[in-house]
A and B are shown apart, each in its own frame.
Chain A
C-alpha cells in the first residue's frame, strides 16, 4: 500500500475513533437527509397547491357567463409558475420573487406571494434544503474534522518523525486530503440520494443534474483542500481551527450577504412608487383615447377611416372601440415592456456584479451554478415573467379583437334598456383562449447558464490545488 493510502487510512481511523467527530458526521448526514425529505415534500406540496389554484383560476375564468369582452379583460386571470423538479434541491430565488401573477388589461402586474412574504422572516436566513446544508454546513464539518490533520502532526512531533522515516510531505498532504475528500464524498451522499429521488420525477434533467453534482463535488473538494492547506500552514491546530472558521464566516456568510447590498448600491433600482409615477407620467404623454382632441388618437382615427375608406366611425365594418382597445393595449404594453426591460437590465447588472463576487467567494460561485442549473435563478424568474406577459398580451388582445369583431359599434355605444344584453358575446369564446403553459428552459440552456459558476469553482479548485505544492515544499523542510 502506498504512503498516501496508508496516511489516508490512518486519518480515517483517527476520525472513526473520535466519538465527537462520528456524532458530528452522523448529525450532518441526518440533517442532509431530513433537508432532502422536507424540501422534496415542501416542493411537492407547493407544486400541487399551484396546480390546484391554477385549475381553479382557469375554471373560474372559463365559467364566466356571456359578457362584454372588455369586462373579461378586466376580470383577468391568475397564473401560477410551476416549479421544476430540481427546485426541490435548490429553490433559489423562488421564495423571494413570488410565483403567481394576476393578468389583466392595461397593466403589467408583478409576481406575488413568494414564501418570504407569506412566512416569518426566518426564511430569509436560508431554508433547510440539501443545497443549503451542502453550501453552508458541510464545509463546517470538513473544517472540524480536518483542521488538525497536518497541524496535529507538527504539534505532536510526528511530522518530523514521519519525514525522518522517508515519507514525503507531498504524500502526507495527499494522504490527509484523500481522507478528507472521502469524508466529503460521504457527506454529499445523502444529497445524491435526494437527487436520485428527484431524478424519478417527471421533468428532471440529466445534464443540469450532472452539473450540479459536479459543482457540489468541486465545492466540497475545495473546502477539503482549503482545510488541509491551512492545517499545513499554521503551526498549531487551535490556530488552524480559528483561521478556518474565520475563512468560513467570510467566504460563506459575510461575502454572500454583503455582495447583493453592494450590487444594489452600485446599480440602484427605482422604488415601486417612483416607477408607478413615471409610468403614469409616460402614459399621460402617450395620449388619451377618450379625449376627442388627443393628437395621437385623432391621427389613429383618421388612419383607420382612411384604411376602411369611410368617413365616420359608425360606418366601419368593425367596432372602432375594439380597434381603439387593441391600439391602446399595444401602446401601453410597449411602455410597460420598456420599463420591465430597463428594470431587468438593472437587475441583470446587479446579478452580474453579485456573481462577480464568486471570484472571492466560492459559495457565491456555487450558488450561481446551483440556481442556474436548477432553473431557479433570476433568469428563470424572468423567463416566467416574459412568458406571462406574452400570454397576458395575447389574451387581452384576443378579447379586444373579439370586441372589435363580435360586438358592433352601435351596440357598444348604446345605452338603452336592452343594450347591455346586446353587448355580450358567448361564453364559448373564453374557452377558446388557450391555458397558460409555462415552458421551462431546456437542459442545454440550463447547463449553459451554469457554466460560468462551474468555471469559477474549477478555477478555485485549480488554484487551491496549486497552492498545495509550495506548502508541501515548505513542510518538507520542517525542522520542528
Chain B
C-alpha cells in the first residue's frame, strides 16, 4: 500500500511567475523511506508543505495515509509528523516545556504529556539538557528536539525537511542514527535533502527533483550506476603524469582524464577501494609516489550533471518563496 501519493502537483508563486512545483508526482510505499533529493529551490520544501497540509497546491492531488490532503487536512494532521528545515521549537522555553506543551496540544493530558516528553528526551539523549532553554542547545540538539516534537503521537507518516542542513559532521551522524532507529520502528518516511550521501545512507528509494519535477527515480545503486559510481583521483609530479594515466586507465577500464593545473588524474571506477589499492601497487612498483590520492563519491552535482547536463545551481528567488516568509499567490 502507498502511504504517500502525490499526483501532478502544481504550485506557483507570484501570480505564476515562479513555478515551484511543475506537475510533480511521487509516492512512498508504506514502511519505507523515500528521499527527495534536489538543490535549493528545486521544490522540495514546497512539496513537503503541501503533503503536510500547510500549503494548498494550485492543482493536483495528494493522499497521505489514505486520506485526501486537500479535502481533509485535519484528518491528515492526526497521522503525520513534520520536522522542518528550521528547528520549530520555542527557543525561550526549555526542551521539557516544549515537548509537554506539544503533548498537551495533541490532547494527551498533562500526565501523559509529561511521561511522553521524558520518554522522548531520554531516547534522543536530551535528558540532561531538558530543563535548559532551547537557545542554549547546539544545532544538533535542536534538530533532535524538533524531531522528538514531531514524534509525540507516533505518526504513521513522517516528513523531514532537510533534517541535517547546517549541522556539523558530528551532528549529522547523530541525526542519522536517530532517523535509522525510527525507520526500524516501521514509520513511513519522506525526507528531503541536498546531500546524496544522506539519501544513500537513509533511503530505500531516491527521487531526484529539479525545477519542480521528478527527473529520476530509483534505488541509490541504480542512480549511482547512472552517474558512474566513484571516481579515483590521483595527484602526481609532472614527470609521472603519462605513466600514471596509463596505469589508471588499465585498472579502471575507463579513459583517464587529466586536470593539468592540479596535476590530477581521475577516472570512474566500479570496484572502489580495490581499484585504489591495485593502482597504488602498480604505481609503487613503477617507482611513482603519488602526492595525493583518493576515492571521490558522486555528489549531488555529479548526479545532476549526468541527469540534466547542468550543475545543481541554486535558484535564489524560489528559495525565498518556499523557505522564508511565504507570499500568498493570488490564484
Q: Do A and B bind each other?
A: no
Q: Which residues of B contact A (CB under 8 A)?
A: none
Q: Which residues of A contact B (CB under 8 A)?
A: none
